[in-house]
């Protein structure tokens, strides 16, 4: 007499374990893909809009402001950030205003505005420079991305009125547009103790206007925490 169970096929030994293993592998792959997608979504692109100080005039490419800032961000907990060099040697605030539209591509999540040095070297009317910077910050605001304004300072040879008007436009415009203010692009050259003129000269190229690689490194160390704040705003 045949057993009642003789016609029922039993599952092969270990098939349940194999199925569980396949599900675990699938879940692991899905989690890995989700993590990779999240990393892509969180990537932040910063455009550094500026002049020769941003562009890296007179320096090997790796020693310029943008590559050194990129390295600083990577070393200080922001590997997801990419900094784009939007610096043009000799550019003024008017030049920056003329190209802010195409600088603000879809991939840009934040902007560093570091213009004004050539305006003051040429003795341009601070009112015109202010209007240009206002236009740049307005365009950035319309795109809904955060900005950092790196200020400049006029020398005293243009007179106290010129210097007062020129120097004041950076903090005033930053406040008006809700931007982060870095008071003076070159302030990192003097260090915490103010630095002597001889010390500053050691950080400059032969033209006395542009920092050398060591000077850029000091600038980046000083402005870096401000840029990190900009990254936080872009991610929020």
Kindly list the catalytic residues.
52, 207, 210
Burial letters 7-37, b for 16+ CB under 10 A, else e: eeeeeeeeeeeeeeeeeeeeeeeeeeeeeee
Question: How far is C-alpha 24 from the geometric centre of its chain's CA atoms?
Answer: 40
Rounded to whole angstroms, how far apart are CA atoms 40 and 116?
Answer: 34
Quote the Cα angle for 102-108-110, to 5°.
115
SS3 84: strand
Rounded to whole angstroms, how far apart are CA atoms 155 and 137?
Answer: 25
Burial letters 114-150, b for 16+ CB under 10 A, else e: bbbbbbbeeebebeebbebbbbbbebbeebebbbbbb
Q: Which two tokens mark 232?
A: 């936080």
Quote the Cα angle for 223-50-176, to 5°.
70
**Cβ contact 69:224 at 8 Å:** yes
Rounded to whole angstroms, how far apart are CA atoms 38 and 16?
Answer: 33
């Amino acid at each position: 007499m045949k057993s009642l169970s003789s016609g029922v096929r039993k599952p092969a030994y270990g098939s349940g374990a194999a199925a569980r293993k396949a599900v675990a592998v699938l879940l692991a792959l899905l989690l890995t893909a989700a993590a990779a997608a999240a990393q892509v979504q969180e990537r932040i692109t910063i455009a550094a809009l500026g002049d020769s100080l941003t562009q890296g005039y007179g320096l090997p490419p790796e020693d310029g402001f943008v590559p050194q800032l990129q390295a600083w961000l990577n070393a200080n907990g922001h590997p997801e950030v990419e900094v784009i060099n939007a610096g043009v040697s000799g550019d003024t605030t008017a030049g920056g205003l003329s190209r802010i539209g195409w600088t603000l591509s879809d991939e840009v999540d934040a902007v560093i505005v570091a213009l004004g040095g050539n305006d003051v070297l040429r003795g341009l009317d601070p009112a015109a420079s202010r209007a240009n910077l206002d236009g740049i910050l307005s365009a950035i605001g319309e795109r809904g991305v955060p900005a950092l304004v790196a200020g400049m300072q006029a020398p005293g040879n243009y007179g106290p009125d010129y210097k007062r008007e020129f120097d004041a436009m950076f903090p005033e415009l930053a406040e008006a547009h809700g931007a982060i203010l870095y008071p003076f692009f070159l302030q990192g050259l003097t260090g915490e103790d103010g630095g002597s003129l001889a010390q500053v000269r050691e950080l400059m190229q032969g033209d006395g206007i542009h920092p050398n690689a060591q000077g850029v490194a000091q600038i980046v160390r000083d402005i870096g925490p401000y840029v990190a704040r900009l990254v936080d705003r872009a991610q929020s």
